Every structure is written in C-alpha cells, then in structure tokens.
Amino acid sequence: MIAHLRGTVAGVAPDGAVIEVGGVGMRVQCTPGTLATLRPGESAQVATSLVVREDSLTLYGFCSDDERNVFELLQTASGVGPRLALAMLAVHTPDALRRAVSTEDLGALTMVPGVGRKGAQRIVLEMKDRLGPPGDGGDGLLPRAAQRAPSWRDQVQSGLVNLGWPARDAEQAIAALEDEGVIGGSNGDAVDVATVLRAALRKLSKR
C-alpha cells in the first residue's frame, strides 16, 4: 500500500493533483480542501489510499493521516464507495463526521450529495462504533496553508460542481455568501477554501 507521497506538485486540477516523485508523476484525487494546500512547483506531502478495482488503480490524497483513515473506514459502510467517501470529507472534517455519527445528526450527513435519509441512517448504524468519538481538533479546519490558496472562488466552484451541483447554482451560492459577509477578506489569500465550501454546501442544501 502507498501510505503517502512526498514530492513536487506538478499540477493541480479541480478534482486532483499530480505529484512528481522520483521523476514519475503520480495523480491523486483529493477534496477541494486538500487541493487548496497544494501549490504547483512547491514540495508537498499527502497521505494516500490506493483503491484497486478490476479495471483501475486510483490513488486518493489527503492532508492528514486522520482524514485518510476516516476515508477508508467510511468505505466499510454499506453503499459507501470511494467517491462518496471523498464527497463526505469534502463537506465535513473527520471530527465533524464523528460528531454527526455519534449524535445521529442525519441532517449533517444528508448535506453530502448522494446521501439520503435512509443512507444517513445506515451510516450512523454501521459506523457508530467504528469512527470513534470526536477528538480535540476544534473545528477541524485544514492547515493554515489552505488559507493562502489562490483562486479560491474557482476552487470552491469546481468543488461544488464535482459534488454534483450545477455551475450556476454554485456561483449563486458563493455570491450569496459574499453578500452576507460570510466570506472575509478582499482577496484569495484571506479565504479558507474548505470553510467556504462547507458554507456553500449548507446554503445549497436548504434550497
């Protein structure tokens, strides 16, 4: 198993990044929050999980070992594959997921595109004794590097589109957050992409 990658970021796309390790470009699929910590041309390390299928090998990358471990645990629940597990971590931090499962907060779980009420109930039932209690990670924000990500608007919009929302709805949600003063700062350096993404998802889920 490939536990982590350390190398130079060769490129970043809306749904993943390429990290060059020993002259080989390794493509990893990541959440928007993890992508926000990666800069082309800079060195980086991501925790990874390799998903093997008959017709594919897909590497998923995460900003922490905890996020990677939760990603793998989520897939032990019925009906949860790697794409849905990644979507859950795009919407919630690991501790937020632990909290939602331990308190049976179905509303929080159904914020994830592709998770309905019955699916949320199944996840709570099957994962309550596996994820464990929330830790002391506070609000679970990504490292401060995420707050310096350029083009935060593009990253948030791409993340929402990758999670199944129409581009127009994504842009309207971002604009609404700006109007409400939820998004602080006047430039991308002052914006936490992961936090904005979650706020936009909460707004879209209420429509």
> Cβ contacts of residue 116 below 8 Å, gap of 6+?
110
Q: In this predicted structure, what is the pLDDT of residue 188?
A: 43
Q: In this predicted structure, what is the pLDDT of residue 33?
A: 81
pLDDT digits (tens, 9 = 90+) for 167-202: 788 888 888 888 887 776 544 445 677 778 888 888
Range(s) of the chain covered by CATH 2.40.50.140: 4-62
Q: Give the dihedral sign, CA 102/108/113/116.
A: positive
Range(s) of the chain covered by CATH 1.10.8: 144-205
Domain 66-127 in CATH 1.10.150.20: yes
Which amino acid is it at 81?
A: G
Q: In this predicted structure, what is the pLDDT of residue 187?
A: 47
pLDDT digits (tens, 9 = 90+) for 42-54: 999 999 999 998 8
Q: What are phi and psi of 21, to 5 degrees?
A: -125, 115
pLDDT digits (tens, 9 = 90+) for 74-87: 999 999 999 999 99
What CATH number does domain 4-62 carry, 2.40.50.100, 2.40.50.140, 2.60.120.620, 2.60.40.2130? 2.40.50.140
CATH number of 144-205: 1.10.8
Task: Confirm whether pTM is higher than 0.95.
Answer: no
Q: In this predicted structure, what is the pLDDT of residue 148?
A: 39
Asked if 46 and 74 count as a contact pair (C-beta separation under 8 A), the reply is: no
Residue 149 has pLDDT above 70, yes or no: no
Q: What's the rounded mean pLDDT across residues 16-34?
A: 91
Residue 70's SS3 state is helix
From the list 14, 9, 51, 49, the residue with the least C-alpha distance to 33 is 14
